[in-house]
Amino acid sequence: MIKRLFISFLLLVPLLSFSHPVHISVCDIHYSSEKNTFQISIRVFTDDLELGIRKSIKDKVLDIGFETESSDADSLIQDYLEKNFQINIQDSLYSASFIGKEAEGMSVWCYLEIKVPKKLNQFSIKNALLDKHFEDQKNMVHFHHQGKMESKVFDKNKRTQTIRITHL
């Protein structure tokens, strides 16, 4: 009996290691006033991102980060990010350039860059990543400028927030 329980436990451990109890993304936006750019990195659980893309854009297995990754994974990720992560400056939507992605364990880093106007004083962020698919989804954004950081938390009830920039 104990042997059977131990074997069952050993068989369940790998299954448990692939699930995660929270649904969260973390985004870092680094503002370079010299280059007039936002350099953006977004970290999200790979399985969550793939599910979001499959339910929102195209029902296709992408295998993000694996040797069997779909050839159109990058373009589908880019499309998903364009629809769910947006920057508005002075009531204008600014398009991000998709730089690429990098798999890291159970998550994937997505890299974007946005050219922004000089003398930027504030901007709005819409971050609706995966909040239509997971009731508990939280999206954190950390804005970095001149050695300071401001953080915001987004969820399905608070998808858009404004960041004011202080210049030294």
Record the pTM. 0.85
**pLDDT averaged over consecutive 10-residue blocks of the chain (168 residues)?**
45 47 93 94 96 85 90 94 96 95 94 93 96 94 94 96 85
Q: What pLDDT is attached to residue 60?
A: 81
Name beta bridge partners: 87. 94, 125
Distance CA 93, CA 115 (A): 11
Could you tell me the two tokens for 51? 């599910």
Cα(95)–Cα(112) distance, integer angstroms:
10
Polymer length in residues for the chain? 168
Computed over its alpha carbons, how large is the radius of gyration of the chain?
19
Percent of the chain, pLDDT > 70?
A: 87
Q: CA 56, CA 12: separation in Å to the nearest integer? A: 31
- Would you kindly state where each structural domain of the chain is located, as residue ranges? 21-164
- Helix, strand, coil percentages, rounded to 5, for the chain: 25, 40, 35
Rounded CA separation 45/26 (Å)? 10
